[in-house]
Structure 1
Amino acid sequence: MGCGSGKVLPEGPGKGPGKGCVSVVHSLVAFGKARDDDDDEPKKKGASWFSTSVGNLPPASDGRRRIQDKVTKYKDKFDPRVTARYDIRALIGRGSFSRVVRVEHRATRQPFAIKMMEVEAPGGREACASELAVLRRVSHSHVIQLIEVFQFPRRVYVVLELATGGELLDRVVSRGHFTERDAAQALRMVLAGLGHLHNLGIAHRDLKPENLLYYHPGADSRLLVTDFGLATFGGAGSEMSGPDGRIGGDHNGADGTWCLRTTCGTPEYMAPEVLLRKPYSCAVDMWALGVIAYVVLSGSMPFEDDSRSRLYRAIVRGKYSFRGDPWPSVSNLAKDFVQRLLPLDPSARLTADRATRHPWVATSAAGSSTRNLHRSISQNLRQRGSRSSSRCPSGGGGGGGGGSRSSGGVQPGLPRAPEG
C-alpha cells in the first residue's frame, strides 16, 4: 500500500517469522495472473489491486514456457512422498527460505496451495513452528484452513486451502455497486473469523485488506482471514499457559496469560499501543479492523502520511475525520461502528463478539443500505494507488519493505511511550 507501507517484522534474528519469509497470504492469492507466475522478484507490496499497467507482461507463449520451467524446477525439489499425493501446477509465491505452489490432489483433483519451508535456513525453523502452532489450532469457515503437513528434517510442506476469489478491496472495486449493506456483510464474516481466533487466544497482528481473501469468485463466496506469519498466542482469552507460539519480545504474565510486546505488523494498521511499545493483546486486531472498516466504507485511510514517523505520530494521537466523499452519504451508525473500534484505550474498543452485535453489523446497515458508495470509494482507492506508485520511500521510519529491525532502542520514527 505504497512506499511507506512495508511490513514491520518481529525484532531480532531467529525470533518469529524471519526476513524474507513468504507470508501465507501468498499461497492463497488468485493464481490466474501471468505476471504473478512470471515474476522472479518478490512482488511489490500493495501494487496489485490498483495497477493499470500491462506493458511489462511477456508474450503469452513466453509466459507459459517460463511458468512450465518453474513448475519443473520446483517439482524436482519436492519430496516424492508429497508429489505422490499432489500434482505441482504453478509457483505462486516465494521468499528467502520458502516457496508456495498451486497443486491438485491426485485423487480428488481439488486445488490446494503448498508452502514449502526450508527449516534449516536461518530463522526458518522458528518461523515454521510459530505459524504451524497457530494453524493447527484454528478451524473455522472464515479462517484459512490447514489441510495437512509433511515434515522432514530439511523441509516442511504445509498444505492449505487455496483462495481464488481475490482480495477484499479487489471485490469492492470490481462490483460496480457497493453499499453499506455490502460492507457490513463482509465485515461480519471477518468478525466471525476474528472471534474464533481471539477465543483461542490468538492475536493475528497483521490484519489488513490484503489478508482478507474470498474463497472463490462467486458472489456467495465466504471471506477468509489469512496470513498467520505474525500471529501468536496472547492476550485476553488465551488458553495457553506455556510457550506455544511464543515470539521473541513477548513473555508470560504473572496471571498465566501472554503479555505481547513485539513491535510488528503493517504500519497503517498498527495500534497505538504497539507503536508505543506497551504490552498489548488481541485488541490490536480490533484497531486494525477499525482501519479496515474506514477503508472499505470510503476508499481512504484514517491515518496516512508519506513520512513513517509522521504516520506513527498521527496514529498514537488517534486523530482522524469523516470529511470528504463519500462520508456525507455514510450513516451515523456506520461511523459509530468505526469510532468504537478506534479508541486509543484498548480496553474501550469493541471485542469481536461485541462488534458482531453492534446494530450496524447486526442489521446489515438497514435504512442506509441502498446508497451506492462505489464511485467515491473506487475513485479514492485509485487516487491513493496513483500517489503510492509515484512517491519515494520516506527516510524516517526504517523497517520498510519487509526488512527486520534492530533489537535495541526505539525504532527510528517510532514514538516513545510517555514516561510514567
Structure 2
Amino acid sequence: MGCGTSKVLPEPPKDVHLDLVKKVEPYTGYKTDIYKHFIKGDGDAIKSAIPSPPRHTNPHVEQAEPRKNRVAKYRAKFDPRVTAKYDIKALIGRGSFSRVVRVEHKATKQPYAIKLIETKYREGREVCESELCVLRRVRHTNIIQLIEVFETQERVYMVMELATGGELFDRIIAKGSFTERDATRVLQMVLDGVKYLHTLGITHRDLKPENLLYYHPGMDSKIMITDFGLASARKKGDDCLMKTTCGTPEYIAPEILVRKPYTNSVDMWALGVISYILLSGTMPFEDDNRTRLYRQILKGKYSYSGEPWPSVSNLAKDFIDRLLTVDPSDRMTALQALKHPWVVSMAASSSMKNLHRSISQNLLKRASSRCQSTKSAQSTRSSRSTKSNKSRRVRERELRELNLRYQQQYNG
C-alpha cells in the first residue's frame, strides 16, 4: 500500500521453497539483462537508451529505421508462436526471474498480459511450477485468469487477463466518495473469490490491497485477486495444514508467527486487515520495528480510535473483530463472512456517511511516510554495514524469544 511497502519473508524452513518473484518490483539493473532496452511505453513506441542523433540530421528520417530495428530485434527474443499470435506492446513489470509485458491479440485486438519466466534457473523453474499449479485450476470471475501457456526449453510464457483498472486504494482516493456500502460491495467480490479458492484447497497466503486490482477503469468494474506467487494448493482429502512462514509482515496471521501448522484461515485474517484499512485508510497493526509489529499481531492489539471510526457502524466493527481473532478456530470462514449481516445487507442499515476524506487523507499520509522512510533508508544504507548486521541479529534473537514465549502461551 503505497511506496516502499516491502515484502519480507520470515525465515522459511530449508526444505520448503518460497516463490520470491513478486510483481512489479523496481528494476535495479542486471549486467546480462536481455530486456534492458525495452522500456515501458505505449503501442510500438518502444524506446531505448540510445543517444539522440546529431542536431544537423533530420530526426524523422534518421530515427524511424533504428526504432523499427530495435522493436524487431526485441520481438525476435520471443518465441515465434507467441509473436505470431500477439503484438508485444509494453513492459509493465519486472521480477528477479520474470518480466510482464502488455500484449494485444492480433485477431481480436483484446489486451492481455504475458508473464515470461526464465526456467533455465532453478528458482525460476520452481516459481513457474508453483504458480501454474494454482492458475491452471482456477476459473472465477474475481480471480485473474490464465489464458494459455507457451513453453520452451529456457522459458515459459504465461498469457493472462490484463487488469487495467488499477489498485483498490488508488481507485478509492480518485473516486471522491466512499461509504460502507461501497466497502461491502468490494469485500463481497473478494470473499467470493477467496471462498472459491478455499473450496479448491488453495490458500493465497499473500492477500493485501496491492493484489486486489480492478479489471477496467469503469465504475462498474469487478475486483480481481492477483499474484499467486506464495499460494499453496492442497489436494482433496489433504489435511490442509501448512508450515511455511511467509507473507507480508503487516498481514501475517498470529499462528504463522508462532510457527504452528496453519490452515486457510490465514487468508481470513488478512481480509480482516484489508477491511480495517478499507474503512479507515490506516493499518490495524503497524510499527517500523518488526518485533513490536509482531507483538501487536500476536496480541491482536488494535483500536478504533481517530477518524473516521466514530462514523463507522458497530456492525462493520463486528465484522472486522470476527476476522482479526487471534485463535484461528474462532475466526470467520469465507462463507461465514459472506453471511455476516453487514455484508448481506450491503450496509443498508449502516452509516451512509461519506468516509472518503478521512480515508484518502490517511492513505496519502501513509504513502508519503513510507516513501520518506524508503528514501531515508536508501541514503544511509552505505554507512550501516557492521552495525546493521549486529542490530539485525539482535532483532532476530528478540523475535525468536518472543515467538517462543507466545508459542508456549498459545499451547496452553
**Which residue type is aligned with residue 145 of structure 1?**
Q
**Which residue type is aligned with residue 11 of structure 1?**
P
The residue that corresponds to 2:126 in the other structure is 126
Deviation at 1:22, TM superposition (A): 3.9
Q: 1:177 to 1:4 in 2, by over 3 A?
A: closer
Q: 1:360 to 1:112 in 2, by over 3 A?
A: same
- Residue 403 of structure 2 is aligned to residue 416 of structure 1: yes
Q: Distance in 1 between matches of 2:71 and 2:344?
A: 46
Deviation at 1:12, TM superposition (A): 6.2
Aligned residues of 2:280 and 2:307 also touching (Cα < 8 A): yes
- Residue 347 of structure 2 is aligned to residue 365 of structure 1: yes
Deviation at 1:76, TM superposition (A): 2.6
The residue that corresponds to 1:317 in the other structure is 299
Q: Distance in 2 between matches of 1:187 and 1:74?
A: 41
The residue that corresponds to 1:194 in the other structure is 194
Query: Which of 28, 39, 42 is equivalent to 1:41?
Result: 28
Aligned residues of 1:17 and 1:124 also touching (Cα < 8 A): no
Q: 1:15 to 1:73 in 2, by over 3 A?
A: farther
Aligned residues of 1:10 and 1:16 also touching (Cα < 8 A): no
> 1:30-73, CA deviations, whole angstroms, 9 ceiling, x for partnerless residues?
xxxxxx9xx7438xxxxxxxxxxxxxxx999xx96239798656
- Residue 77 of structure 2 is aligned to residue 77 of structure 1: yes
Q: Distance in 1 between matches of 2:70 and 2:283?
A: 38
Aligned residues of 1:16 and 1:230 also touching (Cα < 8 A): no
TM-score, normalised to structure 2, is 0.80
- Residue 164 of structure 2 is aligned to residue 164 of structure 1: yes
- Residue 254 of structure 2 is aligned to residue 269 of structure 1: no
The residue that corresponds to 2:113 in the other structure is 113
Q: Distance in 2 between matches of 1:411 and 1:170?
A: 38
**Which residue type is aligned with residue 399 of structure 2?**
G
Aligned residues of 1:9 and 1:18 also touching (Cα < 8 A): no
Q: 1:3 to 1:96 in 2, by over 3 A?
A: closer
Q: Distance in 2 between matches of 1:413 and 1:70?
A: 51
Deviation at 1:151, TM superposition (A): 1.5
> 1:232-268, CA deviations, whole angstroms, 9 ceiling, x for partnerless residues?
124xxx51x5xxxxxxxxxxxxxx3232010111000
- Structure 2, unaligned runs of 5 or more: 30-39, 50-66, 381-395
Q: 1:386 to 1:158 in 2, by over 3 A?
A: same
- Residue 6 of structure 2 is aligned to residue 5 of structure 1: yes
**Which residue type is aligned with residue 16 of structure 1?**
H
SS in 1 for 2:76: helix
The residue that corresponds to 1:46 in the other structure is none
Answer 1 or 2: which has greater helix percent. Answer: 2
Q: 4+ runs of 1 displaced by more than 3 Å?
A: 1-5, 12-19, 39-42, 66-74, 392-395, 410-415
- Structure 1, unaligned runs of 5 or more: 27-35, 43-57, 242-255, 396-409
- Residue 329 of structure 2 is aligned to residue 331 of structure 1: no
Higher relative contact order (CA 8 A, sep 6+): 1
- Residue 154 of structure 2 is aligned to residue 154 of structure 1: yes
**Which residue type is aligned with residue 206 of structure 1?**
D
**What is the alpha-carbon root mean square deviation over aligned residues?**
2.8
Q: 1:40 to 1:233 in 2, by over 3 A?
A: closer
SS in 2 for 1:324: coil
Deviation at 1:393, TM superposition (A): 5.3
Q: Distance in 1 between matches of 2:229 and 2:70?
A: 25
SS in 2 for 1:224: strand
TM-score, normalised to structure 1, is 0.79
The residue that corresponds to 1:398 in the other structure is none
SS in 1 for 2:403: coil
SS in 1 for 2:196: helix
Q: 1:10 to 1:105 in 2, by over 3 A?
A: farther
SS in 2 for 1:112: strand
SS in 2 for 1:297: helix
Deviation at 1:10, TM superposition (A): 7.3
Q: Distance in 1 between matches of 2:342 and 2:364?
A: 27
What is the number of residues matched between the two proteins?
358
**Which residue type is aligned with residue 195 of structure 1?**
K
Q: Distance in 2 between matches of 1:9 and 1:124?
A: 20
Query: Which of 310, 333, 336 is equivalent to 1:351?
Result: 333
Deviation at 1:327, TM superposition (A): 0.2
**Which residue type is aligned with residue 332 of structure 2?**
L
Aligned residues of 2:41 and 2:89 also touching (Cα < 8 A): no
